[in-house]
Amino acid sequence: MRSSPLLILGLLVTPGLSDTAVVWAQDAAAGTPIERAAIEFVGEMERRDFTAAVARFDSAMSGVMPAGKLEENWDMVEARAGSFQGWSRTTTGEAQGYDYVMVISTFENAVWDIQVVFDSDLRIAGLFFQPHVDADALEAAPLPAGLTEQEV
């Protein structure tokens, strides 16, 4: 994996303590180490323990996203999406030499993806928040009138 700094762009969310806080430890016990790390990180934000959350950052992330900034961003996401309700699933992948976990998260008014990017030491090297787009729904969407699809 690359060791150069990864810039982070995106929004974050503010959660109020919810019933999901009780199940974080149990949920985090499942999955791979990288999935557990991402779920634990989201749980820290949900509990508003931003000091613990940023302790997981690599040096580059620590420089651009201190605890107060993380809290501010989390609050912006929750202002748009509503209070955090929990996460439904994770997916993993690799991009630009980094591993990432996409934590599909349910908020009061919307589903958002929280992408947590990790370096080779399982330190968080990037963080992205975006409204969830269901890929299956995109594939199943009908074409607008007058357009056709063909193999090329």
Mean pLDDT for 84-91 is 93
Whether pLDDT at 148 is above 90: no
Whether pLDDT at 13 is above 80: no
One DSSP character per residue, 81-123 reads H-SEEEEEEEEEEEETTEEEEEEEEEESS-EEEEEEEE-TTS-
Q: Which residue has the higher pLDDT, 39 or 28?
A: 39
Q: Give pLDDT, residue 4.
A: 36
For residue 147, is it within any domain? Answer: no
Whether pLDDT at 18 is above 70: no
Q: Which residue has the higher pLDDT, 21 or 141?
A: 141
Distance of CA 33 to the CA centre of its chain: 16
Q: What is the CA radius of gyration of the chain?
A: 17
Mean pLDDT for 108-124 is 96
For residue 3, is it within any domain? Answer: no
Whether pLDDT at 6 is above 70: no
Residue type, 49: D
Distance CA 35, CA 138 (A): 26
- CATH code for position 104: 3.10.450.590
The string of pLDDT tens digits covering residues 72-84 is 999 999 999 999 9
Strand order in the sheet with 124-131: 84-95, 98-107, 111-118, 124-131
- Is the distance from CB of 102 to CB of 115 less than 8 angstroms? yes
Q: How many domains does the chain have?
A: 1
For residue 63, is it within any domain? Answer: yes
Q: Give pLDDT, residue 68.
A: 97
- Is the distance from CB of 106 to CB of 119 less than 8 angstroms? no
Distance of CA 25 to the CA centre of its chain: 18
**Domain that includes residue 37, residue range:** 19-140
Per-residue pLDDT band for 19 (boundaries 50, 70, 90) equals very low
For residue 28, is it within any domain? Answer: yes
Q: Report the DSSP pairing between strands 124-131 and 111-118.
A: antiparallel
For residue 13, is it within any domain? Answer: no
- Is the distance from CB of 8 to CB of 126 less than 8 angstroms? yes
For residue 40, is it within any domain? Answer: yes
Per-residue pLDDT band for 133 (boundaries 50, 70, 90) equals confident
The string of pLDDT tens digits covering residues 43-55 is 999 999 999 999 9
Least confident of 81-85, 88-92, 96-100, 130-134: 130-134
For residue 74, is it within any domain? Answer: yes
Distance CA 152, CA 141 (A): 20
Whole-number mean pLDDT of the chain?
81
Residue type, 74: W
For residue 26, is it within any domain? Answer: yes
